[in-house]
Amino acid sequence: MKTYGLIGKNISYSFSRNYFNNKFNNENILNSQYINFDIDNLSKLNDIFNRDNYGFNVTIPYKEAIISYLDSLDFHAEKIGAVNTIKIENGKKIGLNTDWIGFKKSIEPLLKSYHKKALILGTGGASKAVMYALDQLQIEHLIVSRNGKTPYEDLSEEIILNHTIIINCTPVGTFPNVDSAPEIPYNFITNNHLAYDLIYNPAETLFLKKCKEKGAVIKNGLEMLEIQAEESWKIWNS
């Protein structure tokens, strides 16, 4: 049995497990399974790596911390500083990142000529992949976080109007906490804005609802997840 899996914490909701097991069934891929490795800390990694597993995805909160447990990184993962895909090759654990590809391909069709600057809400591993993708798209970005250089309370009308892409890379608003949203001044959002939420459950977060009410184009993270999953599959089977 070829076993693939997701390494993370509190991941019973996992998109990846259902996605890949459905893929195996629909495409008649035999003797393959995808399971969750739901671990409280990375001390249990060696046991997971020592099994006969064929590949892994990595999610919150381990995308950055897991790097020190790997043998090498590919070019993109090294630049990003976060890993969401691991390939086992000749006994070596290689870290890669497909999040940036998923984000880039999913946001690109929505971009207009006036989408030149982006606000990135959050500083985790996912936000690093988003930054990398924005660099490829030549879109300037400003990071907003609770304790960073630009905290939420510093977001002025001028900053919001100048940054017509707003990307939520935080878990705020994820099911079951659907009544929460990043604390930005939504009253300055316009119909020139593009609001993107990496969250996919619920399909329309409170963040997206508030932006849509102001006329913004909105998108959730489901397509990004699907693209990065397919990119992971290509890597494991290349």
**Which residues have a catalytic role annotated?**
63
- Please say whether the beta carbons of 151 and 121 come within 8 A: no
Rg (CA), the chain: 18
Residue 88, φ and ψ in degrees, nearest 5: -100, 120
Give the C-alpha separation, 4 to 55, whole Å: 5
Residue 219, φ and ψ in degrees, nearest 5: -155, 140
Residue 27, φ and ψ in degrees, nearest 5: -100, 10
Going by C-beta distance under 8 Å and a sequence separation of 6 or more, which residues neighbour residue 212?
195, 204, 218
Give the C-alpha separation, 234 to 231, whole Å: 5
- Beta-ladder partners of 57: 6, 85
- The total number of residues shown for the chain amounts to 238
